[in-house]
Chain A
């Protein structure tokens, strides 16, 4: 490692921040870019399962709220692609790689939705899991990303409330409605337990070394379990893991997820991966004329 890189590492590790115009080692730039690109992809792909429910939302109020949430998520993708662009990769290239299956997005967006119960669980628990990671990213060494994360976290807090409201309405409704939530929880529990990734000791994690991330994966999962399992249980709902329990020392025990399966899912082999990527490719082709018309008029 050359002296300049050593100085950079010391700077970020002691809490120093980096701006887009500052010099940074190639490895830092590449890891950062890949990480934020995956985040942006996830925001963009994450609206597809919700989009399927705009026309099937149970009330007008729910339809409007869901549409607003979708607009927020697409907005997050745009903000994040801006950060990626300033790191050197144009948005068009990101979208090309996404539809070509060359870049990744979060595991939870590779699964299908079957009922309105899934929509509630996504808005409540998937967003809750996401906001735990995103809050930790407020401390990212790359300041433009941390700043955008402040705005994103602010908007996500509405989404969790919306999700919780959907869930509470269903569990206080008919037996059939309650059953929708219970079934959706069973479907989503495995992906949720995989969401924060396999436990990597902080010392071995290059993302922690560069202080792109400061929260170890297992800490995030523990925080999720601590915050949300009691909220699930207090509604009289059950989770599909017989080992799940909180030890006296506050640590949650659970059945170890199949990390090989997580890798396969995020590599494009999840139950809905192909369909989602194909849909993104199709909509990209369908709206291409809009982009061309706008650019032609502006030229």
Chain B
């Protein structure tokens, strides 16, 4: 009986594969024909990947239990501390080239 294949397409060499859509087909041979027609007939793809839907493993929860934000840029608040450091150094009123005071 028919199955569903998820189709990924690459626009040009070196680009990432991106999910394009899916095709329903009786078997892999037909899935390939349908995917080629549906996602490549105008030369809009350089390569296609077909993956049986059942083979896709999904992860959609990313719980930050331990507040690991020190791994990210938003884990650092530089501005306040920089202001404090400048005041201590007595340079807080000096214009810093290329910086606008926000």
Q: Which of B20, B30, B38, B41 lies in contact with A298, CB distance below 8 A?
A: B30
Beta-carbon contact of A298 and B26 below 8 Å: yes
Q: Which of A79, A91, A297, A299 lies in contact with B38, CB distance below 8 A?
A: A79
The answer to whether the Cβ of B2 comes within 8 Å of any Cβ in the partner chain is yes
- The B19-64 residues at the A interface (CB cut-off 8 A) are 20-24, 26-27, 30, 34, 37-38, 41-42, 58
Beta-carbon contact of B24 and A85 below 8 Å: yes
The answer to whether the Cβ of A3 comes within 8 Å of any Cβ in the partner chain is no
Chain B contacts for A55, CB-based, 8 A = none
- The A109-151 residues at the B interface (CB cut-off 8 A) are 147-148, 151
The answer to whether the Cβ of A82 comes within 8 Å of any Cβ in the partner chain is yes
Chain B contacts for A148, CB-based, 8 A = 21
Q: Mark A84-105, 1 if CB is under 8 A from B, else 0.
A: 0110000100000000000000
Measured CB to CB, the nearest residue on chain A to B53 is A86
In angstroms, Cα B24 to Cα A82, docked, is 7
The answer to whether the Cβ of A295 comes within 8 Å of any Cβ in the partner chain is yes
With contact pairs A75-B37, A295-B1 given, residues A147 and B21 touching in the complex (Cβ less than 8 Å): yes
Beta-carbon contact of B2 and A295 below 8 Å: yes
Chain B contacts for A147, CB-based, 8 A = 21
CB of B15, distance to nearest CB on chain A (Å):
17
Residues of A contacting B: mostly:
helix
In angstroms, Cα B34 to Cα A78, docked, is 10
Measured CB to CB, the nearest residue on chain A to B58 is A21
Beta-carbon contact of A151 and B21 below 8 Å: yes
Count chain A residues whose beta carbon lies closer than 8 angstroms to a beta carbon of B.
18
Beta-carbon contact of A78 and B26 below 8 Å: no
Q: Which of B22, B26, B37 lies in contact with A82, CB distance below 8 A?
A: B22
The answer to whether the Cβ of A200 comes within 8 Å of any Cβ in the partner chain is no
Measured CB to CB, the nearest residue on chain A to B26 is A298
In angstroms, Cα B2 to Cα A78, docked, is 14
In angstroms, Cα B33 to Cα A238, docked, is 46
Chain A contacts for B24, CB-based, 8 A = 82, 85, 91
CB of B46, distance to nearest CB on chain A (Å):
16
In angstroms, Cα B54 to Cα A59, docked, is 47
The answer to whether the Cβ of A294 comes within 8 Å of any Cβ in the partner chain is yes
Chain A contacts for B23, CB-based, 8 A = 78, 82
In angstroms, Cα B24 to Cα A297, docked, is 16
CB of B16, distance to nearest CB on chain A (Å):
16
Q: Which of A85, A91, A151, A295 lies in contact with B26, CB distance below 8 A?
A: A295
9 A-B residue pairs with Cβ-Cβ distance under 8 Å, sorted by A, are: A78-B23, A79-B21, A82-B22, A82-B23, A151-B21, A155-B42, A294-B26, A295-B2, A298-B30
In angstroms, Cα B73 to Cα A38, docked, is 47
Beta-carbon contact of A298 and B21 below 8 Å: no
6 nearest A-B residue pairs (beta carbon): A298-B26, A298-B27, A294-B26, A295-B26, A82-B22, A75-B38
